Structure 1
Amino acid sequence: MIEVRKLSKWYQVHEREPGFIASFKSLFHRKFRTVKAVDDVSFFIPEGEIVAFLGPNGAGKTTTMKVLTGLLHPSDGEVNVGGFVPFQHKKEFKKQISLVMGQKSQLIWDLPAAETFLVNKVIYEIPDQDYEETLGDLVQLLQLEEVIRKPVRQLSLGERMKCELAAALLHRPRIVFLDEPTIGLDVNMQEVMRRFIQDYSRKYKATILLTSHYMADVTALCERVLVIGKGRLLYDGAINQLIDKYAPNKRIRLQLAKRAHERELEDVIHGMGTIVHYAFPDLDVDVPREQVSELSARLLSKLNVLDLTIEDPSMESVIAQAFEARTEGGSAGA
């Protein structure tokens, strides 16, 4: 559904020194530098797959999505989305895709969301029967019965985002680009949105590319992630393999009933792990995944322990490790 080969997008950025003289000189002699927003990125996404596209601000995520939707022309490389070249802007291509940006709105502020739905019906030339059927499904899945007749300005943020999704999906796009769809929503509303995205993808076999700073979105929706940093693709593979590659340790957290000296703790751990933090009664130890069971048993038998928990590293820390481990070669596959 989405095929990207050696995609690059760069810009010429004007640079000058501050001050009046520098401003005057720039009228006759301008200095430019090339900024590579996306640099030699390649990946393939099949039909019906939900894939996370992760990276810090300025990594190239939004630029890539704009190229995939035809909003930007690539500087180099090949892009095929649903059998079309996006920047050719063919009518059939636009009917197959949808872009939902959590910080942008297509709803008409002073009118009910239902009015925007009717506008989109005309724009996408949706037959009456298909429109009624799809709208009914969206209203049911997103619980919009009480919402779509109210002016948009009277809706809460969560209600507006649900209406934004409904408006973007009325034409049943086969390919959906979601840019921070749960931003600003409370925990309960985030869960509603995630369930809806899963249900939509399952029912219509839609391919979804998701960007989000909420790792809960990623772990709940995606089995595969693409990690991008400074315009280069750093990782393409399963979430579990990403964790294994960049976070090989787990953390054992203990609450001790009796104070122990650090030398005593080192003797118990005996090179199997690393003490990260110790301030009685709390003790944190990082340990390789394959030795978690053995070290846990040893700690319980050798120390007076009130409580013991084993934690996986957060996805945020895993992604940070991926960026820190970035080599000059750039990409990494699974």
Structure 2
Amino acid sequence: MTNVIEVENLRKEFNAYSSRTGLKGAFRDLFTRNYKVVPAVNDINFSVKKGEMVGYIGENGAGKSTTIKMLTGILTPTSGQVTVNGMNPHKEREKFVQTIGVVFGQRSQLWWDIAVQESFRLLKKVYKVSDEHYNDHMKHVIKTLDIEPLLDKPVRKLSLGQRMRCELAAALIHNPPLLFLDEPTIGLDVLVKLKIREFLKEINEKFQTTILLTTHDLSDIEALCERVVMLDEGKIIYDGALKNLKEQWGEGKALQFQFLESVDLLAIRKLTVGMPVKWEMDEKNTEFTAILEDNDELISQVIAKTVAAFKIKDIKINETSTEEIIRNIYEKGTV
């Protein structure tokens, strides 16, 4: 199977300005500034095969968006090689953009003050899509994403969920073989997320569309991607199957407790002092979770101690979530 994306020793550096302290320092900064070179992406290597759906994940500032911008030709790399759809995104830009679709969750490619369908028609002209292809392909896209009632509305009057569905449709007008999605479900409700996920699965199966997805919503990754590439401080710290990541790091269990009365986190932690248990509390202070090894005896002891000390409303035993696994990896700094 051919590689749609090939990245070799890719690096992007930025000059970061650092100000001097004090009034004297501020005065000196007016004439001479101190700069230091900061690598946002640090000599990374990876490839993506045709038809793959890959999750590209990392904390804020890890270099995800910078990578996407280099892969789409928006930024020029400081060094290294990038080949996407057999082309250099920066040197063959006009030809290259005909072969990709891009959705940035926080930026719009639709015209703000005109109707959605007018934006679609303009993009149809930009991508030189024939009437026959547009009518055949977009009829299905519009129906699947349920945006037909929105076509006559100006973009500025759409809700976030409505706009993101239209943004996704706009990125697919020319039915590109490669789709970049940068936080496509940010701020969306559950029903809209499910609709977008189902649609992405469908186009992947029907057209073998390759998808590179960056998101902080790990439920998107679990629902769509079998493979993840994990970035930390500009370097790839994991590239492989999500299943293997779970098997390697997700051996623990999470015991979720809901109590009938108010419970203090410190009090519940005292119950398991000396035991390999990590307690967490949700934002509403109503649910407490014990993270521990997948050990039947240890699990029984924790449950017994907790039930003996507090009145229990509900208890669930879950495998460690992907979010917890990834948080542990970032805390330890390696895989």
TM-score by length of 1: 0.84
Measured after TM superposition, the shift of residue 319 of structure 1 is: 1.6
Q: Is the 8 A contact 1:178 1:209 kept in 2?
A: yes
1:217 aligns with 2:217: no
Distance 2:76 2:278 in 1: 51
Question: Which of residues 30, 35, 50 in structure 2 aligns to 1:32?
Answer: 35
Partner amino acid, structure 2, of 1:320 = R
Q: Is the 8 A contact 2:228 2:239 kept in 1?
A: yes
Partner amino acid, structure 2, of 1:135 = M
Measured after TM superposition, the shift of residue 299 of structure 1 is: 8.3
What value does the CA root-mean-square deviation take over the aligned residues?
Answer: 3.1
Measured after TM superposition, the shift of residue 284 of structure 1 is: 6.1
Question: Which of residues 174, 184, 189 in structure 1 aligns to 2:187?
Answer: 184
Q: Is the 8 A contact 1:247 1:321 kept in 2?
A: no
Q: Which deviates further from its counterpart, 150-159 or 115-124?
A: 150-159
Secondary structure of the structure 2 residue equivalent to 1:160: helix
Measured after TM superposition, the shift of residue 297 of structure 1 is: 7.5
Q: Is the 8 A contact 1:234 1:322 kept in 2?
A: no
Paired position in structure 2 for 1:117: 120
Paired position in structure 2 for 1:133: 136
Question: Which of residues 140, 155, 174 in structure 2 aligns to 1:171?
Answer: 174
Task: Show CA shifts across 1:126-168 (max 9, x none).
Answer: 1111111111111111112211122222222211111111111
Summarize the Cα distance change of 1:130–1:21 in structure 2 as closer, same or farther, 3 Å threshold. same
Measured after TM superposition, the shift of residue 115 of structure 1 is: 0.3
Measured after TM superposition, the shift of residue 76 of structure 1 is: 1.3
Question: Which of residues 53, 56, 61 in structure 2 aligns to 1:58?
Answer: 61
Structure 1 unaligned spans of 5+: 257-261
Paired position in structure 2 for 1:81: 84
Secondary structure of the structure 1 residue equivalent to 2:148: coil
Paired position in structure 1 for 2:262: none
Distance 2:126 2:257 in 1: 60
Secondary structure of the structure 2 residue equivalent to 1:146: helix
Paired position in structure 1 for 2:317: 310
Question: Which of residues 11, 14, 21 in structure 2 aligns to 1:11?
Answer: 14
Distance 2:210 2:37 in 1: 33
Structure 2 unaligned spans of 5+: 260-267, 281-286
Q: Is the 8 A contact 2:257 2:289 kept in 1?
A: yes
Summarize the Cα distance change of 1:283–1:163 in structure 2 as closer, same or farther, 3 Å threshold. closer
Paired position in structure 2 for 1:44: 47
1:288 aligns with 2:293: yes
Q: How many residues are treated as equivalent by the alignment?
A: 315
Measured after TM superposition, the shift of residue 24 of structure 1 is: 3.8
Partner amino acid, structure 2, of 1:229 = D
Secondary structure of the structure 2 residue equivalent to 1:70: coil
Partner amino acid, structure 1, of 2:29 = S
Amino-acid identity (%):
39
Measured after TM superposition, the shift of residue 309 of structure 1 is: 2.7
Question: Which of residues 96, 107, 112 in structure 2 aligns to 1:104?
Answer: 107
1:239 aligns with 2:237: no
Q: Is the 8 A contact 1:105 1:164 kept in 2?
A: yes
Summarize the Cα distance change of 1:34–1:206 in structure 2 as closer, same or farther, 3 Å threshold. same
Distance 2:288 2:175 in 1: 52
Distance 1:283 1:186 in 2: 25
1:198 aligns with 2:205: no
Summarize the Cα distance change of 1:160–1:297 in structure 2 as closer, same or farther, 3 Å threshold. same
Partner amino acid, structure 2, of 1:321 = N
Paired position in structure 1 for 2:265: none
Distance 1:300 1:36 in 2: 47
Distance 1:255 1:16 in 2: 50
Paired position in structure 1 for 2:263: none
Paired position in structure 1 for 2:326: 319
Aligned runs of 1:256-275 on 2, under 5 Å? 274=277
Q: Is the 8 A contact 2:251 2:319 kept in 1?
A: no
Measured after TM superposition, the shift of residue 90 of structure 1 is: 3.4
Task: Show CA shifts across 1:180-205 (max 9, x none).
Answer: 10111111111111111111221111
Question: Which of residues 214, 227, 230 in structure 1 aligns to 2:230?
Answer: 227
Summarize the Cα distance change of 1:284–1:142 in structure 2 as closer, same or farther, 3 Å threshold. closer
Measured after TM superposition, the shift of residue 177 of structure 1 is: 0.6
Summarize the Cα distance change of 1:235–1:303 in structure 2 as closer, same or farther, 3 Å threshold. closer
Task: Show CA shifts across 1:266-296 (max 9, x none).
Answer: 8xxx98x64758xxxx99654433x44x666
Partner amino acid, structure 1, of 2:330 = F
Partner amino acid, structure 1, of 2:186 = I
